[in-house]
Structure 1
Amino acid sequence: MNILLVGAGLSGAIIGRTLAEAGHNITIIDGRDHIGGNCHTERDAETNVMVHVYGPHIFHTDDEEVWNYVNSFTTFMPYKNRVKTTSQGQVFSLPINLHTINQYYNKTLRPAEARDFIENEIADKSITDPQTFEEQAMRFVGPDLYKAFFEGYTIKQWGCSPTELPASILKRLPVRFNYDDNYFFHKFQGMPENGYTPMIEAILDHENITVHLETWFDPDTAGEYDHVFYSGPLDGYFGYKLGRLGYRTLDFEKFTDKGDYQGCAVMNYGDREVPYTRITEHKHFSPWEEHEGTVCYKEFSRACEPEDIPYYPIRQVKEKALLSDYVKLAEETGGVTFVGRLGTYRYLDMDVTIREAMDTAAAFLESAAKGEKMPAFVQNPL
């Protein structure tokens, strides 16, 4: 079959590769001038540091099949994400761990003592059924740690009060009663040795795949293909005719320096009066390399406008109502399957994106073998 994939990021590349290996003719288009979507990496011209152009992407997963898949296209180097935060005039370790607790409260608690201290002296036990982000944080870490590490950062990141965000954002609040400061807890963690873009280039390197960059999708051309996989914005496919789904976007203020600017890859800024949410220093994402110079990004979060790159789906009540309407439209369309972060309006880590792309390709091959129609969504956005 002749199949069109809209978007040359992880979803499009992996679905395209799997279907190409099955003998289908694959055309991939992308409006940008590079492949890789928001995972795109490139060397900084001034310092030669590998830069994550759209913000850092750290690979972590418990899915061994996904881990083996990406490692078949590139070499992954060991990498542990150790985040620091500047708050109230001090630097602390995140996620909240035993060092954070002892430092903040000027104590020398052992694990059991710290657990008892937080639960019985600090946490707000009057909250029995947390409904909001703020209630969830107050219940599990109390007002001090909430204000130091979550309140200001969350307001800057989401542009609204934590009382307006659902508790589900913090349902798996990472609080560790040991000195483990590895931000993630997954079995497999690492970074591609030469960046994500060469990895995706390798995935796309197949005789049945043709890639066209700086090419925008026209829905009127969908009928020229046997099937379309669309990883652009769901509402954009329909020309935003029901309205726009809400996103947050990021602005980056890039600067260079000599040596080591901040001593870590990610420094959060929890105080509300600091306008940016964090500074990322990209040389630390490739600790196996040595560079005299350094490249840093200050990150600023704001509401996404029509010409901006959408990053984080908001998914509050009004967005979910609109999403429901778009899902219905999509299911009535036929001939197109919506995939990825934008196509399903869900925040997805890279490993989940890859897993869903693998599953979507498998579902298509199975449907084709049975002569059945492919659904609009393999993963329900609702």
Structure 2
Amino acid sequence: MKVLLVGAGLSGAVIGRTLAEAGHDCRIIDSRSHIGGNCYTERDPETGVMMHVYGPHIFHTDDEEVWNYVNRFTTFLPFQNRVKTTSQGAVYSLPVNLHTINQFFGKTMRPDEARDFITEIADTSIEEPQSFEEQALRFVGRDLYEAFFKGYTEKQWGCSPTELPASILKRLPVRFNYDDNYFFHRFQGMPRDGYTPMIEAILDHPNITVELETSYEPAMADEADHVFWSGPLDGFFDYRLGRLGYRTLDFERFTHEGDYQGCAVMNYGDRDVPYTRITEHKHFSPWESHEGSVCYREYSRAAEPDDIPYYPIRMVEEKSLLSQYVELAQATPGVTFVGRLGTYRYLDMDVTIREAMDTAGSFLSGASMGKTMPTFIKSPL
């Protein structure tokens, strides 16, 4: 079959590779001048540092099949994300752990003592947290919430934490030991040579053609037996019902001779610091050595029509509009919507790859039995 895949990021590459290996003819187009989507990496010509051009991407997963898949196309080296945060004139470790608690309160508590202490300062009157703020107050209390979460969240999302759902904070654990590894998955690492060569290797198949700086035109679908769309869901319909809301990021790049901050990621929790964090890219490749350094100050704001969409907002208004676009999509034959933008969901890389593998598998099994490919493998709702 002839398959058109719109987007040369992880979703398009993984689906395309699987279908190509099964003998299908895959045409992948992307409006950008490079493959890889927001995972794109490149060497900084000035310093030689491997740059995460659209912000840091750290690979972590418990899915062994996904881990084996990415290691088929590149070499992953060990990397653990150890995030620091500057708050109220001091530097602490995140996520909140025993060291953070002892340092912040000037104590030397053991794990059981710290657990009892946090229980005492937490607002246990909040039985079923509904908002981000209630979730934080319920589990860590006001002091830790205001130091590490409130200001950062206001900057990141552009609204009060009282307006955000509690589910956003459920991904951030509190640890009563000294483990400062930001993630807790079995498999964690970075591709030795960056993500771009990995995606190049996935796309390297005789049944795959890649066309960059090529925007989708509806007539292209007429030449394909099926379309996989990994662009914005609302963009497929030319935003006819309005635009789904996103947060975007602005990066202020600067260089430094030597080591600027001693870690890959430094958050800034205070509201009066305009940026959310500084990332120092050479620390994402600790097996390399560079005298110079490249850093990004990261600013979050509401996405405008010409901005790169990063984080789907998914508040009540957006979910209402989303449901209307899902209805439109389900009434559109021959198209499957995939990935972060195509399903309007925040997805880590491993989940994106898993869903792409499952999508390709569904296509192959359905084609062999004459079944129609579903519009969504995972419902955006």
The TM-score bracket by the shorter chain reads over 0.9
Q: Number of residue pairs matched?
A: 381
| Residue aligning to 2:343 | 344
Structure 2 CA distance for aligned equivalents of residues 324 and 366 of structure 1: 28
The Cα shift of 1:128 comes to: 1.0
Structure 1 CA distance for aligned equivalents of residues 112 and 171 of structure 2: 20
| Residue aligning to 1:3 | 3
| Residue aligning to 1:198 | 197
Contact kept, 8 Å, 1:10 with 1:200, in 2: the verdict is yes
Structure 2 CA distance for aligned equivalents of residues 224 and 160 of structure 1: 45
| Residue aligning to 2:228 | 229
Output aligned runs, 1:18-33, within 5 Å: 18-33=18-33
Q: Which stretches of structure 1, 4 residues or longer, exceed 6 Å deviation after superposition?
A: none
| Residue aligning to 1:13 | 13
Structure 1 CA distance for aligned equivalents of residues 261 and 167 of structure 2: 32
SS of 1:141's partner is helix
Q: Which residue type is aligned with residue 103 of structure 2?
A: Q
Structure 1 CA distance for aligned equivalents of residues 193 and 37 of structure 2: 16
SS of 2:73's partner is coil
Q: Which residue type is aligned with residue 24 of structure 1?
A: H
The Cα shift of 1:335 comes to: 0.4
| Residue aligning to 2:285 | 286
Structure 1 CA distance for aligned equivalents of residues 76 and 362 of structure 2: 28
The Cα shift of 1:244 comes to: 0.2
Structure 2 CA distance for aligned equivalents of residues 160 and 292 of structure 1: 40
Structure 2 CA distance for aligned equivalents of residues 187 and 230 of structure 1: 31
TM score, norm. by length of structure 1 = 0.99
TM score, norm. by length of structure 2 = 1.00
Q: Which residue type is aligned with residue 258 of structure 1?
A: E
Structure 2 CA distance for aligned equivalents of residues 173 and 180 of structure 1: 13
Structure 2 CA distance for aligned equivalents of residues 221 and 56 of structure 1: 33
The Cα shift of 1:33 comes to: 0.3
Q: Which residue type is aligned with residue 35 of structure 1?
A: I
Structure 2 CA distance for aligned equivalents of residues 133 and 211 of structure 1: 42
| Residue aligning to 1:123 | 122
The Cα shift of 1:350 comes to: 0.1
| Residue aligning to 2:131 | 132
| Residue aligning to 2:99 | 99
Q: Which residue type is aligned with residue 39 of structure 2?
A: C
The Cα shift of 1:125 comes to: 1.1
Structure 2 CA distance for aligned equivalents of residues 116 and 297 of structure 1: 39
Structure 1 CA distance for aligned equivalents of residues 303 and 71 of structure 2: 34
Instruction: Mark the runs of 5 or more structure 2 residues left unpaired by the alignment.
Output: none
Structure 2 CA distance for aligned equivalents of residues 334 and 235 of structure 1: 16
Contact kept, 8 Å, 1:219 with 1:237, in 2: the verdict is no
| Residue aligning to 1:256 | 255
Cα-to-partner distance string for 1:275-313 (whole Å, 9 max, x where unaligned)? 000000000000000001000000000000000000000
Contact kept, 8 Å, 1:255 with 1:297, in 2: the verdict is yes
The Cα shift of 1:59 comes to: 0.1
Structure 1 CA distance for aligned equivalents of residues 299 and 70 of structure 2: 30
Q: Which residue type is aligned with residue 367 of structure 2?
A: A
The Cα shift of 1:210 comes to: 0.2
